[in-house]
A and B are shown apart, each in its own frame.
Chain A
């Protein structure tokens, strides 16, 4: 490796050195900000400059997490929320995608439904909460449905506009090759919009957590959203913070999986 670098000119060596230095700086400051934030938080609460009753503190969160783990409840709550989120995510993505395909297929149907989709998109889905509970009952079903409602409209809208934006010229090429509509969809429209699909997945990762937590605020007996609401009600901010922390980790893991998928696709 060293030998290889020596083969290049001095200016190239300088350039590579600078790249490495820049990368180091970025990573250094990322870690620095985290450590400084946590350290400051801990110190300020330790010396009672900030009241840990209101802002909690890293050490109290760790203690709280330890307590939850030894009681065995943490994994239970995390699993409940994760389950709701994943199911909601899957249903919304698959169904939203299929609806978009259907609307692409038939232009008349698309035009008819256009205003409805716009209204559904701008409606705050949380407003439907009471209706959802009345219709499907409280509990998991309601939460999953909330999650689906939040993700599905944006999935359909994003995919549909991606489908429509596919190069007219390429469609003409396929038509000149005698392709039927299904072939145009299968060979051109779907593969051409894969990058858009991946960004929809990324958006849905975020949105589906919003959906499941919001659903749990509305109606739940378990889950991370439940822990947060419960913690808030009994003024136990440590519990709120601990649940939020776990939520951060899970959401990040899910986002990471999607970005792995993206990298694999790009290869």
Chain B
């Protein structure tokens, strides 16, 4: 598989009036095509900073972020999904998912509109096409947000705790849905989460970060059997991975 993203000794400092905060310390890792990589770490360790660097919203203080073979980050290759769905209340579901097309006016507009239509049908939201977001449930809203991201056909999806605002049951079902959608669309994704089980059940690689300044503490490759994240939780090695990551994270908390 081709390498789509590479972090090469990336450090990052936040500047504030009083202080300079050392957020990332020489982070290196790489993501291959169709990978599902999760980043876990103690809270406030700079997980979201990594996503912002990939999305080109921040520039590294030193080191290189290489996206699709280029250091100059093309935001069009990135799809960013946030913790909250960020749907615009005054726009219908359809108008929300075509927002990116409206903004970027791509050459293949017609094809993308058709894709939007197909995705709505495929993920059973077509009947809600002309509804306003407030008429939808939390899980449906996050699915709409995912479709809004997919419509732009990003090469790499960034998921910033997209399930954390949902109740437990919706969360598990939505995990399955998102996993299914990403696999069938053959997408590469990076998930930031503080939920260890979620990370294990969804990814094929987990990057464990230390507390601030974040270093890569461990990189775990996983191979769990099971079609869906929910079924993967039944795999016999699930517990072992969980304990391993748990220990690494609790060590960090104690060392603080």
Whole-angstrom CA separation of A183 from B103 in the bound complex = 7
* A192-B78 in contact given A176-B55, A179-B103 (Cβ < 8 Å): no
- B102 near A187 with CB under 8 A, answer yes
**Stretch with Cβ within 8 A of B (4 or more), from A112-120, A165-173, A225-233:** A165-173
Tally A-B pairs: CB < 8 A.
41
Whole-angstrom CA separation of A80 from B75 in the bound complex = 57
- B86 near A170 with CB under 8 A, answer yes
Cβ-defined partner of A187 (8 Å) among B55, B82, B103: B103
- A169 near B100 with CB under 8 A, answer no
Q: Mark A182-199, 1 if CB is under 8 A from B, else 0.
A: 010001100110100000
* A170-B88 in contact given A175-B57, A187-B102 (Cβ < 8 Å): yes
Interface residue B99 (Cβ < 8 Å from any Cβ of A):
yes
- B88 near A172 with CB under 8 A, answer no
With an 8 Å Cβ cutoff, the count of chain B residues facing the other chain is 18
Cβ-defined partner of B104 (8 Å) among A172, A175, A177, A194: A177
- A173 near B90 with CB under 8 A, answer no
Task: Please give the distance in Å from B7's CB to the nearest CB on chain A.
Answer: 18
- A178 near B75 with CB under 8 A, answer yes
Residues of B with C-beta under 8 A to A247: none
Residues of B with C-beta under 8 A to A188: 88
Task: Please give the distance in Å from B255's CB to the nearest CB on chain A.
Answer: 32
Whole-angstrom CA separation of A188 from B103 in the bound complex = 11
Interface residue B171 (Cβ < 8 Å from any Cβ of A):
no
- B88 near A178 with CB under 8 A, answer no
With an 8 Å Cβ cutoff, the count of chain A residues facing the other chain is 17
Interface residue B152 (Cβ < 8 Å from any Cβ of A):
yes
Residues of A with C-beta under 8 A to B55: 176
Q: Mark B82-107, 1 if CB is under 8 A from A, else 0.
A: 10101010110000000110111000
- A173 near B82 with CB under 8 A, answer yes
- Considering the complex, give the chain A residue whose CB is closest to the CB of B102: A187
Residues of A with C-beta under 8 A to B86: 167, 169-170, 173
- A177 near B82 with CB under 8 A, answer no
* A172-B82 in contact given A177-B152, A178-B75, A188-B88 (Cβ < 8 Å): yes
- B103 near A174 with CB under 8 A, answer yes
- B88 near A177 with CB under 8 A, answer no
- Considering the complex, give the chain A residue whose CB is closest to the CB of B91: A191
Task: Please give the distance in Å from A176's CB to the nearest CB on chain B.
Answer: 4
Whole-angstrom CA separation of A167 from B84 in the bound complex = 11
Interface residue B179 (Cβ < 8 Å from any Cβ of A):
no
- B82 near A178 with CB under 8 A, answer no
- A192 near B90 with CB under 8 A, answer yes
Interface residue B163 (Cβ < 8 Å from any Cβ of A):
no
Whole-angstrom CA separation of A179 from B76 in the bound complex = 11
> What are the nearest 6 A-B pairs in CB distance?
A176-B80, A173-B86, A178-B75, A179-B103, A177-B100, A191-B90
**17 contacting pairs across A/B (C-beta < 8 A):** A169-B82, A170-B86, A170-B88, A172-B80, A173-B80, A173-B86, A177-B104, A177-B152, A178-B76, A178-B103, A178-B104, A183-B103, A187-B103, A188-B88, A191-B91, A192-B88, A194-B90
